């Protein structure tokens, strides 16, 4: 029976090795200059070559992420910088910018290209368009429901489809958030996102005064004869003043209406219970988010989703005990959310992507191939 690929994140060689040891079929990693994970990324040219060689020696795949939204300055050296990466033999490049895709098609016509989630493909016509442009796979936007994914699969049956099944969701169409740039001048679209949506914030109720300024609720104002709005005439239910823990006295405004709360992060994605349905749809690749996460995260997610995929392919019903595997993690890291219907709800989170305190539980049972004395493949 058909088995989708299990695709894990690899921010480091160690993470890659744990992901492979615990069941991943492929990993994705990127160079800092041209991918959206400038921080916490050890993949220079030497490590990229080593990672690709090790993956291929195991019969696994290695995809290189090249998905920034570049300004003119980065175009000047793009082909020159990419040439040695292409010569390393990655299985595909993950890209989002149409201009960069055009340049790769011109200079490296044999190089497979996967459309990045950053391109926000949310309908079957977009998938068909990129198929006609010569791309071999489209990574669908995280904001789609199962029903929408299934319709895309039916409308474009001969195109490889990849979806995220686990990890962080942006409080925007994937990757288009400007919050990090607004707060501390780190542009997410240039690979320097500081995950400002996941910081600790203090929230106080606010209100809008007669000239449109947001003030504390208990601050007196002369006249209150207007409704708080989003600036487009739609009344909001609540207005908040938000203070980041490390920036006392600096307030930002957030609005909440019937559609959700604006500025903070959404809950994380966890679709392990829907792997069987996704397998039956024929989704080619199930992807786990988390290139800045720990080796423990990479191993545990690969282990759980490997079991779910194998069970689905064997015709076995979903094993609910897989949901219990998350209990060794901090609860904020894995909220109860699936991709049946994604809501932009405000949540507090303490998840930072740092190594989990229970990592020793995994290391004790790790196979010899991922111990500290790992030897490179020759």
> Would you list the DSSP string of 98-128?
HHHHHHHHHH-TTS-EEE-GGG---SHHHHH
Q: Is residue 187 part of a domain?
A: no
Residue whose tokens read 């690979």? 191
Q: Is residue 188 part of a domain?
A: no
The pLDDT, as a whole number, for residue 217 is 67
Instruction: Determine, yes or no, domain membership for 33.
Output: yes
Q: State pLDDT tens for residues 201-234.
A: 777 777 766 555 667 666 544 433 334 333 444 4
Specify the pLDDT at position 14.
95
Is residue 189, in this structure, part of any structural domain at all? no
- Whether 102 and 10 map to the same domain: the answer is yes
Please provide the DSSP assignment of 228-263 as one string: -B-SSSPBPSEEEEEEETTSTT-EEEEEEETTEEES
Q: Averaged over 285-290, what is the pLDDT?
A: 96
pLDDT-derived band of residue 196, with 50, 70 and 90 as boundaries? confident
Domain limit, last residue, from 209, 242, 262: 262
Say whether both 247 and 140 belong to one domain. no
- 37-46, 230-239, 247-256: which has the minimum mean pLDDT? 230-239
Q: What is the CATH classification number for the domain harbouring 280?
A: 3.20.20.380
Same domain, 135 and 280: yes
Least confident range from 130-134, 313-317, 355-359: namely: 355-359
159 in the same domain as 83: yes
Does residue 312 sit within a domain? yes
When pLDDT is averaged across residues 73-101 and rounded to a whole number, the result is: 95
Is residue 107 domain-shared with residue 205, that is, in the same domain? Answer: no
CA-based nearest residue to 1, from 317, 282, 314: 314
Same domain, 254 and 279: no
pTM score of the predicted model: 0.71
Sign, CA dihedral 360-366-368-373, equals: negative
Q: Which residue among 262, 285, 311 closes a domain? A: 262
**For residue 199, is pLDDT > 90?**
no
Handedness of CA 18, 21, 23, 24 (dihedral sign): positive
What integer pLDDT is reported at residue 173 of this predicted model?
60
80 and 147 inside one domain: yes
Pair (74, 112) in one structural domain: yes
Residue 258: predicted pLDDT: 54
**One-letter-per-residue 3-state SS of 149-177:** HHHHHHHCCCCEEEEEEEECCCCCCCCCC
Is the pLDDT assigned to residue 101 strictly greater than 50? yes
**pLDDT given at position 57:** 98
Q: Cα separation of 118 and 80, whole Å?
A: 23
**214 is in which domain, residue-wise?**
194-262
Locate tokens 């996941």: which residue? 198
The answer to whether residue 184 sits within a structural domain is no
User: Could you say which DSSP state residue 329 is in?
Assistant: S
Most confident of 87-91, 182-186, 294-298: 87-91
My answer on whether 338 and 285 are in the same domain is yes
Last residue of a domain, one of 247, 262, 277: 262
Compute the mean pLDDT over every residue in the chain, rounded to the nearest whole number: 77
Task: Tell whether 252 and 277 lie within a shared domain.
Answer: no
Query: What's the confidence (pLDDT) of residue 246?
Result: 80
Residue 290 is assigned to a structural domain of this protein: yes
Same-domain status, 313 and 252: no
Domain count, the chain: 2
**Same-domain pairing of 231 and 338:** no
Does some domain include residue 121?
A: yes
Residues 6+ apart with CB under 8 A from 216: 204, 205, 206, 207, 241
């Amino acid at each position: 029976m058909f088995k989708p690929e299990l695709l894990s994140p690899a921010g480091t060689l160690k993470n890659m090795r744990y992901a492979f040891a615990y069941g991943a079929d492929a990993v994705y990693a990127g160079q800092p200059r041209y991918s959206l994970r400038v921080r916490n990324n050890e993949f220079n040219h030497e490590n990229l070559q080593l990672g690709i060689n090790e993956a291929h020696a195991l019969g696994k795949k290695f995809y290189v992420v090249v998905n920034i939204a570049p300004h003119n300055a980065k175009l000047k050296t793009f082909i020159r910088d990419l040439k040695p990466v292409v010569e390393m033999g990655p299985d595909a490049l993950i890209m989002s910018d149409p201009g960069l895709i055009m340049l790769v098609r011109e200079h490296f016509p044999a190089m497979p290209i996967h459309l990045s989630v950053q391109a926000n493909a949310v309908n079957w016509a977009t998938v068909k368009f990129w198929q006609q442009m010569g791309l071999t796979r489209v990574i669908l936007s995280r904001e789609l429901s199962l029903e929408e994914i299934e319709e895309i699969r039916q409308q474009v049956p001969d195109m490889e489809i990849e979806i995220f099944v686990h990890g962080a969701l942006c409080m925007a169409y994937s990757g288009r958030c400007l919050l990090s740039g607004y707060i501390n001048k780190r542009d997410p679209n240039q690979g320097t996102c500081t995950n400002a949506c996941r910081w600790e914030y203090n929230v106080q109720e606010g209100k809008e005064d007669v000239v449109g300024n947001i003030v504390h609720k208990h601050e007196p104002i002369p006249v209150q004869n207007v409704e708080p709005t989003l600036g487009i005439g739609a009344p909001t239910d609540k207005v908040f003043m938000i203070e980041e823990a490390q920036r006392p006295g600096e307030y930002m405004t957030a609005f909440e209406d019937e559609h959700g709360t604006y500025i903070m992060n959404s809950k994380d994605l966890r679709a392990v219970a829907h792997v069987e349905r996704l397998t039956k749809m024929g989704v080619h690749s199930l992807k786990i988010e988390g290139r800045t996460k720990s080796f423990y995260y990479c191993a545990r997610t690969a282990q759980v989703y490997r079991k779910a995929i194998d069970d689905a392919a064997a015709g076995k019903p979903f094993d609910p005990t897989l949901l219990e595997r998350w209990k060794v993690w901090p609860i904020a890291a894995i909220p109860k959310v699936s991709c049946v219907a994604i809501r932009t709800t405000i949540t507090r989170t303490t998840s930072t992507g740092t190594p989990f305190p229970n990592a020793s539980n995994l290391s004790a049972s790790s196979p010899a191939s991922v111990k500290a004395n790992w030897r490179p493949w020759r």
